[in-house]
Amino acid sequence: MTCTMRIISGNHRGKKIVAPPNLPVRPTTDFAKESLFNILDNYFYFDTVKVLDLFAGTGNISYEFAARGAVEVVAVDNNEACADFIEKTAKSLHFEQLQVVRNDALEYISHCKQPFNVIFADPPYDWDKYSAIPQLVFENGLLSPNGFLVIEHAVAVDFQQHPKFFQQRHYGKVNFSFFAENL
């Protein structure tokens, strides 16, 4: 089954992107993505942010940040077909600030030294290592001051007891948990 995404805002507003059917992905819905970016818009000027997109899949979230003028977007995915698709799409859209890293997300954040304003993670909903994401992000100081970690997850995952958790939003089957160092 093919997957069609839409860039909601920015210099490619309305652009439809069709991913090949062989990608093992579950892209964030347009409704949830638009809601997420409405929240982030209250906290960030997108043309000043550095973004890390973990489990990037089709690159849906990366494209949205790039279209809104993010300074740097690093898309991490360990699937070769996904990484190839993101690179090809970024090149066709002239997103020079979008860099693709072929790596396991946890491996990447275990060794990354660069801080980001926004870190977005969208692992498979049946993944059993969700708690490792905020642990590694905060242990390794990967959030810039006033930065956000956003994890997309199924309803069964609950981060409310994490000391850096500050809110959860629910959009259909999509849940976003937000974390910050300084809130």
What is the mean pLDDT, run by run of 10 residues, along the chain of 183 residues? 80 85 81 94 96 96 97 97 96 97 97 96 91 96 96 92 94 93 77
Which pLDDT score is estimated for 77?
A: 97
Q: Whole-model pTM? A: 0.94
Which pLDDT score is estimated for 47?
A: 95
Which domains does the chain carry?
A: 3-180 (3.40.50.150)
Tell me how far apart the alpha carbons of residues 139 and 137 are, in angstroms, rounded to a whole number: 6
Which pLDDT score is estimated for 2?
A: 65
Phi-psi region of 14 (alpha: psi -120 to 50; beta: other; left: phi over 0): left
C-alpha separations of 61 from 48, 49, 67, 158 in Å: 17, 14, 10, 22
Which pLDDT score is estimated for 30?
A: 82
